[in-house]
């Protein structure tokens, strides 16, 4: 009887270990299938969760998917995604940004519901009688939470796309400015090189000019000068004949 009980205990222990491993693997798959821009999904938390809720949930899930405890080949990736989600939700600026999008999603869904209520008189009357209580209950429902989750995904995706387009434009503008700056540098460099080259040949040019002026003063005796044009009469041209000296 004792041997049977020990065998049963061993089988139970193995079974629980296998179940635990399956749960760990499932959690890894769940984390990696979450919408990447919504850290609340990674931690499996509602949008109204506090920072303490975030810390507690992170400790709980991180123990399940930690690479040292989970054999799933993507456990490290899931653990990293979980750590990033906690970091975002504990950062006031990042958290406020996400909650702003959540608020925008709620407003869109509320407007949509108001339009639906206009078509449904009974629901509209009930909503007025309950003085808003009916709407509050509805927003706590699973149906609304699913809609909200999808709407938040939609808005976060749109915002991320806008952010990336803006970053791309900024990058392109920075590239253009850098190119212009490099072109201006090249122009200034060439101008400086030209000025240095011109200054370097200054003595040579001055010397050549002096030689030219000296040669002009040494005209030989009896040399015929080139003819000059008289332009007193615009309709005629007069050529001065060469005059011999002596």
Q: What is the pLDDT of residues 2-12, one digit of tens each?
A: 565 566 666 65
Q: Distance (Å, rounded) from C-alpha 214 to C-alpha 196?
A: 28
Q: Distance (Å, rounded) from C-alpha 75 to C-alpha 54?
A: 20
Distances (CA, A) of 222 to 204, 214, 218, 241, 245: 33, 19, 12, 14, 6
List domains and CATH numbers for the chain. Answer: 8-90 (1.10.287.110)
**DSSP 8-state assignment for residue 34:** S
58 or 208, which is more confident? Answer: 58
Residue 180 confidence (pLDDT)? 80
210 or 53, which is more confident? Answer: 53
- For residue 122, is pLDDT > 70? no
Q: CB atoms < 10 A from the CB of 190, how many?
A: 10
Residue 13 confidence (pLDDT)? 63
Bridge-based pairing of strands 229-230 and 238-239 is antiparallel
- For residue 217, is pLDDT > 80? no
Residue 218 confidence (pLDDT)? 57
pLDDT in tens, 226-245: 555 555 555 555 555 555 55
pTM exceeding the 0.85 threshold for the entire prediction: no
User: pLDDT class for 85, splitting at 50, 70, 90?
Assistant: very high
Lowest-pLDDT choice from 70-74, 173-177, 203-207:
203-207
Residue 128 confidence (pLDDT)? 54
- For residue 96, is pLDDT > 70? yes
Q: What is the mean predicted confidence (pLDDT) over 111-117?
A: 82
Phi and psi of 71, rounded to 5°? Answer: -90, 0
Lowest-pLDDT choice from 13-27, 178-192, 218-232:
218-232
User: pLDDT class for 194, splitting at 50, 70, 90?
Assistant: confident
Give the tokens for residue 225.
Answer: 């000068």
Residue 27 confidence (pLDDT)? 92
pLDDT in tens, 125-157: 555 555 555 677 778 888 888 999 999 999 999
Q: Which of 47, 218, 210 is nearest to 139 (CA)?
A: 47
Max CA-CA distance within the chain? Answer: 157
DSSP assignments along 164-176, one per residue: HHHHHHHHHHHHH
Sign of CA dihedral 84, 57, 61, 144: negative
Q: Distance (Å, rounded) from C-alpha 111 to C-alpha 146?
A: 17
């Amino acid at each position: 009887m004792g041997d049977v009980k020990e065998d049963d205990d061993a089988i139970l222990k193995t079974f629980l270990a296998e179940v635990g491993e399956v749960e760990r693997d499932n959690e890894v798959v769940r984390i990696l299938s979450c919408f990447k821009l919504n850290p609340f999904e990674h931690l499996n938390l509602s949008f109204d969760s506090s920072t303490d809720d975030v810390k507690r949930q992170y400790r709980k899930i991180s123990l399940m998917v930690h690479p040292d405890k989970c054999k799933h080949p993507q456990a490290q990736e899931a653990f990293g995604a979980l750590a990033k989600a906690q970091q975002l939700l504990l950062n006031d600026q990042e958290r406020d940004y996400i909650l702003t999008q959540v608020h925008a999603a709620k407003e869109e869904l509320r407007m949509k519901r108001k339009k639906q209520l206009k078509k449904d008189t009974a629901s509209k009357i009930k909503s007025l009688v309950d003085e808003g209580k009916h709407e509050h209950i509805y927003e706590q429902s699973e149906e609304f939470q699913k809609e909200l989750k999808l709407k938040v995904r939609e808005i976060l995706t749109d915002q991320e796309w806008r952010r990336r387009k803006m970053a791309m434009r900024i990058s392109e503008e920075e590239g253009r400015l850098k190119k212009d700056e490099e072109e201006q540098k090249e122009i200034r460099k060439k101008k400086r090189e030209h000025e240095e080259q011109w200054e370097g040949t200054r003595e040579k040019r001055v010397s050549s000019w002096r030689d030219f002026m000296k040669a002009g003063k040494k005209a030989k005796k009896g040399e015929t000068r080139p003819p000059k044009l008289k332009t007193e009469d615009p309709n005629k041209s007069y050529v001065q004949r060469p005059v011999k000296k002596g």
